[in-house]
Amino acid sequence: MGTVMATECCDLEVWAPEELLLTRIVVAPEPEPEPEPGAVAVAAEDAEARAAEEQAAAEAARQMAEALEAKYREGYEAGHAAGYAAGHQAGRDEGARAEAARLESAVRAVEEAARAVRSAEAERLAAIEDDLLVLALAAARQIVGKAVELEPEIVADVVRRAIAHFPGEQPLVIRVNPEDLSALTTTTAADGGPIAIAPGRDVRWMADPQIARGGCIVEGKDRIVDGRVDLALERAYWMLRDG
Inter-CA distances, 201 with 53, 102, 167, 170, 180, Å: 150, 81, 10, 8, 20
Domain range annotation of the chain: 47-150, 152-242
Which helix (H) or strand (E) covers residue 206, if one does? strand 203-207
Q: CB atoms < 10 A from the CB of 174, how many?
A: 23
Query: Which of 3.30.2320.30, 3.40.50.9100, 3.30.420.40, 3.60.10.10 is the CATH number of 152-242?
Result: 3.30.2320.30
Q: Check whether 41 has a pLDDT greater than 70.
A: no
- Greatest Cα pair distance, the chain, in angstroms, is 201
Q: CB atoms < 10 A from the CB of 233, how many?
A: 18
Instruction: Give pTM, 2 decimals.
Output: 0.45
- pLDDT of 141: 62
What's the pLDDT tens digit per position in 202-229? 999 999 999 999 899 999 998 999 988 7
Contact predicate 158/216, CB 8 Å: yes
Cβ-in-10-Å burial (0-12, 13-18, 19+) of 137 comes to middle
Please tell me the least confidently modeled range out of 99-103, 105-109, 162-166, 231-235: 231-235
Parallel, antiparallel or unpaired: strands 216-219 and 203-207? unpaired
- pLDDT of 239: 79
Among candidates 136, 153, 137, 210, which has minimal Cα distance to 176?
Answer: 210
Please tell me the least confidently modeled range out of 119-128, 138-147, 184-193: 138-147
Inter-CA distances, 165 with 24, 78, 225, Å: 175, 101, 8
Q: Using CA atoms, how far apart are residues 163 and 216, in angstroms rounded to an integer? A: 10
Please tell me the least confidently modeled range out of 25-29, 32-36, 73-77: 25-29
**Left if phi > 0, otherwise alpha if psi is -120 to 50, otherwise beta: which for 234?**
alpha
Parallel, antiparallel or unpaired: strands 203-207 and 172-176? parallel
Please tell me the least confidently modeled range out of 16-20, 28-32, 179-183: 16-20
- pLDDT of 104: 84
Percent of the chain's residues with pLDDT above 70: 66
Among candidates 178, 161, 151, 167, which has minimal Cα distance to 220?
Answer: 167
What would the mean pLDDT of 60-79 be, rounded to a whole number? 70
Please tell me the least confidently modeled range out of 14-18, 73-77, 219-223, 231-235: 14-18
Residue 84 contacts by C-beta under 8 Å, 6 or more apart in sequence?
Answer: none
Among candidates 203, 225, 99, which has minimal Cα distance to 158?
Answer: 225
